[in-house]
Amino acid sequence: MNWRRFGASAGLVVLTSAFVLIGVAYNRGGEPEAEITLTEREVPLSYEAFQSEENTELALRLHWQSPAHRWQALMFEPRLEPDWFDQAKLEAVGYDCSLPLSDPSAEQYYDKMLPREAFVVLEYGGQAWTHWLEDWDRDKVFMAEQVNKGKRSKQDLERLNDAYDRLPKTGSRLLAVDVGSDPIQLRQRYPERNQFVIVRSQVRLYLAREGKTQSGERWPVHLRGEVTQLLIDDIHVPFELQAVLDTLSRSEGQHHGRTPSSPFVRPGEAKEPRYEVTVRYGKRYEPWVTAIRPLAISP
Partner 1 sequence: MGTDQAIDDATASGSAGDRNTAQQRVDRIHAFQAELDQLQRDGLLALSPEQQQRLTTHHTQLLRELGHQFDVDTTAGQKQMSLGMRVVSFLGALALAASVFLFFYRIWGLISTPIQLLVLICGPVLAVLAMEWTRKREHSPYFTSLAGLVAFAAFVLDLHLLGSIFNITPSPNAFLVWGAFAFLLAYAHDLRLLLVAGILCLLTYLSASVGTWRGVYWLSFGERPENFLPAGFLLFLVPAVIRHKDHPDFSGYYRLFGMLTVLLAVLILSHWGRGSYVHLATKDIETLYQILGFALAGLTIWIGVRWGWPALTNLGSTFFVIDLYTKFYDWWWDWMPKYLFFLTLGLIAILLLMVFKRFRSRLFKECLA
- Nearer to partner 1 by C-beta: 103 or 145? 103
C-alpha to C-alpha distance for 173 and 124, rounded to whole angstroms = 6
Instruction: Tell me the helix, strand and coil percentages in the chain, rounded to 5.
Output: 40, 25, 40
User: Is residue 218 within the footprint of partner 1 (CB under 8 A)?
Assistant: no
User: Is residue 297 within the footprint of partner 1 (CB under 8 A)?
Assistant: no
Where would I find the beta strands (DSSP E) of 70-189? 116-124, 174-180
Q: At residue 272, what is the residue type?
A: E
Show Cβ contacts of residue 104 under 8 Å, excluding neighbours closer than 6 positions: none
User: Is residue 238 within the footprint of partner 1 (CB under 8 A)?
Assistant: yes
Least Å distance, CB 291 to partner 1, is: 16
Least Å distance, CB 159 to partner 1, is: 34
Q: Are 151 and 145 in contact (CB under 8 A)?
A: no
Burial of 68 (0-12, 13-18, 19+ CB in 10 A): middle
Of 252, 251, 269, nearest in space to 260 by CA: 269
Stretch that binds partner 1, among 35-43, 132-140, 151-159, 278-286 (CB under 8 A): 278-286
Show Cβ contacts of residue 276 under 8 Å, excluding neighbours closer than 6 positions: 37, 38, 39, 40, 292, 293, 295
* Residue 26 CB neighbours (<10 A): 12
Least Å distance, CB 148 to partner 1, is: 43
* Residue 161 CB neighbours (<10 A): 13
User: Is residue 107 within the footprint of partner 1 (CB under 8 A)?
Assistant: no
Least Å distance, CB 33 to partner 1, is: 13
User: Is residue 103 within the footprint of partner 1 (CB under 8 A)?
Assistant: no
Stretch that binds partner 1, among 84-92, 106-114, 215-223, 257-265 (CB under 8 A): 106-114
- Nearer to partner 1 by C-beta: 66 or 146? 66
* Whole-number CA gyration radius for the chain: 22
Stretch that binds partner 1, among 110-118, 125-133, 184-192, 207-215 (CB under 8 A): 110-118
> Strands 222-230 and 196-208: what pairing?
antiparallel
- Nearer to partner 1 by C-beta: 16 or 127? 16
Binds partner 1 by CB under 8 A, chosen from 81, 111, 182, 210:
111
Query: Where in 4-63 is the site for partner 1 (CB under 8 A)?
Result: 5-6, 8-10, 12-14, 16-17, 20-21, 23-24, 27, 53-59
- Nearer to partner 1 by C-beta: 51 or 213? 51
Least Å distance, CB 140 to partner 1, is: 37
* Residue 92 CB neighbours (<10 A): 16
Binding site for partner 1 (CB under 8 A): 1-2, 5-6, 8-10, 12-14, 16-17, 20-21, 23-24, 27, 53-59, 94, 105, 108-109, 111-112, 114-117, 200, 202, 231-232, 234-236, 238-240, 242, 284-288
